């Protein structure tokens, strides 16, 4: 996802916040950036690939939450241990 954020925003001098939290039976990865809007919970049908990053992420994660507000993308990925 970090690579995707960087590639989708060439030349941008933004910040990507990443946090990793141990939440008992799962690990929660939180990403925030001010780049182009991108919802990782929605696979891109134009890719026509079952192993693109979004598809793989959706298969691995117990839950993915996405929100875009005030010009920021906020994604939380919940992974079972």
Structural domain boundaries in the chain: 2-80
Class of domain 2-80: alpha beta
Cα distance between residue 69 and residue 78, in whole Å: 21
Distances (CA, A) of 75 to 12, 46, 51, 60, 62: 19, 22, 20, 15, 13
Structure pTM? 0.77
State the pLDDT at residue 68: 92
**pLDDT tens track, the chain, 81 positions:** 787 777 777 887 778 899 999 999 999 999 999 888 777 777 666 655 555 677 788 888 999 999 999 889 999 999 999
């Amino acid at each position: 996802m970090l690579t995707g954020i960087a590639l989708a925003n060439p030349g941008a001098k933004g910040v990507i916040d990443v946090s990793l939290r141990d939440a008992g039976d799962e690990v929660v990865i939180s990403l925030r950036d001010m780049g182009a809007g991108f919802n990782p919970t929605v696979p891109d049908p134009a890719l026509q690939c079952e192993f693109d990053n979004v598809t793989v992420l959706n298969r691995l994660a117990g839950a993915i939450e996405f929100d875009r507000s005030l010009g920021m993308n906020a994604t939380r990925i919940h992974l079972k241990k």
